Structure formats: structure tokens, C-alpha cells
Structure 1
Amino acid sequence: MRRILLLIALLTACLATPRQALAQYNNWAFGFRIGEPAGVNIRKYFGENHAFDLNVGTYGGLYGNTRAYRSGYYKTVGLSIQGHYLWHDRVLGNDNFRGYYGFGGQINSRRYYPDRFAATNDYESAIALGGSAVAGLEYFVPNKQYSIFAELGLYAEVVPAPLFLSVSSGVGVRFNL
């Protein structure tokens, strides 16, 4: 019984100890992203200046859901999964303000409306794969467990429409654990 009380006392002391107000870039972060793609954002920070970022959500809402694509259009909001390996560093010597850039890939599912189906408004469902790049800024709010970010990127499709280019951008908030 004494060991359990001692353990509870130690855990309570650890939780009650004030944390240092440094940037939380060596942990996991979970958040939400508004933009293209819009959805859930998960980030894992590695060491001093590396991270992996994963976005799972929708595309087509921010820049409009009707866009020219191949020999036709896509007219709906679709699903997107995007992952980037990132490098980040302090901006203007401030640990709470960090810039980042990275490269990765993106998978999209979309409804494609080819011109040959224009009379019947039929569509084809397709999976698209491509590479993507991103650059952004992240601000770790002092004495808080969250950060805010803004980023801009480019998606270059490989299949089924080689070199189809699309701009991606977003803003969001991440809760740093």
C-alpha cells in the first residue's frame, strides 16, 4: 500500500511541476487543417529539425469542386491522403516560430467526368497518385500545448494524368503532446 501511495505522490508531483515554455517540436501533434486538403493532420517530430506530416481529408472544397482534368472535369469533393517528410528550423532566432519544407506523396480518389460521357453525365471513379512538396510556418503559442500553422504546396500527379498540377494550401491548429 505504501508503494502505491508513493507512486501516486510521484505522479502527482510530476504532473503538477510547471513545464518549461519551449516549443513542443519533439513530440506527436494532432490537429485540423482547413484548406486543400482539409481534414485531420498528424505530425511526428524527430530530433531537432525533422518531422513527418500526414493529412487525411477532402480536396476540392477550397478552390472549387469543378476543375478541368484530363479530357473532362472532376465535379465533386474527393478524398485525399498526403504525407511529407519535413525539415524545420527556427525563424528569426525564435524557438516558438518555425519554418518548414518537405517532400512526399499524395493519393486521391475522385469522380472523373470524361467529355465522352457528357450527354449522360456518367463518371469514372479513379485513384490518382503523385508527388507533392510543401513549405510553411508554424507558431508554438508560449505556455500552451498547441501551435498554429499556414502552408503552401504543389501536387504533381504521376498516374493517371502525368504532370497534372494542383496547388495546395492550408491553415490549421495542432495540439502538441
Structure 2
Amino acid sequence: MRNLVFLTTVLVLSLFGTLNCAQAQYNNWAVGFRIGEPAGINVRKYFGEKKAFDLNVGTFGGLYGTNRSYRSGQYRSVGFSVQGHYIHYAPITKSESIRGYYGYGGQINTRRYYPVRLNGEYENALSLGVSGIGGVEFFPPNKPYSFFLETGVYVELLQAPFFLNLNSGLGLRYNF
């Protein structure tokens, strides 16, 4: 699996490296992938002055270990996640090639939950919570893509109130 992720990353970076476009900039949409917690497909919609909506759809629970205490049991698998954030961004450099951002939103996760009462059997658990992120994005000159690095926190509200998880990741987006 790790070899497949590595190979896919190399191929995508090679493809983007051969593309040439005017000046990389904020456009209407950006689509890419995020490796981290959660990991998956990343879509960003820019609107208004220095605002955007960021959506991640993918997996949850793989980066920080699949065997983790949770409520009165544990989860032992990677689950499915949908995460959305309302983003505020601003240039960090005069050329605007490096931009900082922060945002807040929510996250929905599903995973296999192994409560003690089921003696090794699992039940599917759906969790809902709030999350916040902060990050930095780099737009190489004359390229239609950007690289980003971000970190934040997820605070679960349902099923285990105040269960905390670090959300961090890096990724690549194609801006069009």
C-alpha cells in the first residue's frame, strides 16, 4: 500500500511538473490529494476576498495508529471521513507565492468500534465533531499547482464528547 501511494505521488508530481501555465494564482477551484489525518481527495472552492471552502473526503485513523482507545473499548481500523472547513487566507510573501490560512468546520467519521461488552466483535460507529486547521500553501511560479502543509485539531461531539485527535497533513492541489 505504501509503495502504491509513493508511486502515485511520484507520477502526479511528474505530470504537474511538465504542465506550464501562466501565473499560478487563486482560481475558482483547486483539486488534489492530502496525505495525513484525514487523508484523501481534497477540493477547494475559492470565493470572495480571501475566503474559500475546503473539503476532504477519504480515510480517518491511519496516521496515528489504528489501534487506539475509544470510549469503553477501542477502534482497530481505518475509517471513512468527510471534513469541511471555511477558510480565510492571506499572502505571507510580497510575491504571494506563499500564503497562510486558517479555518474552522466539522468532520464526520465512520469506523469499526470494538467495545468491551462485545468480546472482540465490532460495531460500526459514526462520530461527529468540530475541527480547526491552520496551514501554509506554496504556489511555484508559472505552475498551475500548489503544495500545502497544515495542522489542526478535531474535537468529537458525538459519540465520545471531547475525544481529541490531531489533524495534520500535506498535499498537492491543481488550481483551475
Conservation of the 8 A alpha-carbon contact between 1:26 and 1:48: no
- In structure 2, the residue matched to 1:12 is none
Following the alignment from structure 1 to structure 2, what is the Cα–Cα distance between the partners of residues 92 and 67?
A: 40
1:48-127 correspondence to structure 2 within 5 Å: 48-117=49-118, 120-127=119-126
Distance in 1 (CA, whole Å) between partners of 2:21 and 2:61 is: 41
* One-letter amino acid of the structure 2 residue matched with residue 81 of structure 1: V
Tell me: CA distance 1:109–1:65, structure 2 relative to 1, closer, same or farther (3 Å): same
Read off the aligned partner of 2:128 and give its amino acid letter.
L
- The aligned counterpart of 1:136 is 135
CA distance in structure 1 between the aligned counterparts of 2:130 and 2:55, rounded to whole angstroms: 14
Shift of 1:19: 6.1
What fraction of aligned residue pairs are identical, expressed as a percent? 59
> Any conservation in 2 of the 1:25–1:48 contact (CA below 8 Å)?
no
Give the counterpart letter for 2:154 in structure 1: Y
Summarize deviations over 1:113-133 as a string: whole Å, max 9, x none.
Answer: 11222xx31111111000000
- The corresponding residue for 2:158 is 159
TM-score after normalising by structure 2: 0.85
For 1:29, the aligned partner's letter is: A
Q: Aligned partners of 1:115, 1:63: CA distance in 2, in Å?
A: 22
Q: Distance in 2 between matches of 1:25 and 1:47?
A: 11
CA RMSD of aligned residues (A): 1.4
Which consecutive unaligned segments of at least 5 residues does structure 2 have? 1-19
What is the TM-score normalised by the length of structure 1? 0.85
Aligned to 1:30: 31
Query: What is the count of residue pairs matched by the alignment?
Result: 157
CA shift at 1:153, angstroms?
A: 1.0
Deviation at 1:20, TM superposition (A): 4.4
Distance 1:75 1:24 in 2: 41
**Rg larger in 1 or in 2?**
1
In structure 1, list runs of 5 or more residues that go unmatched. Answer: 1-17
Q: Kindly indicate whether the alpha-carbon contact (under 8 Å) linking 2:35 and 2:171 is maintained by their aligned counterparts in 1.
A: yes
Q: Deviations over 1:139-159 (max 9, x none)?
A: 111101000000001000010
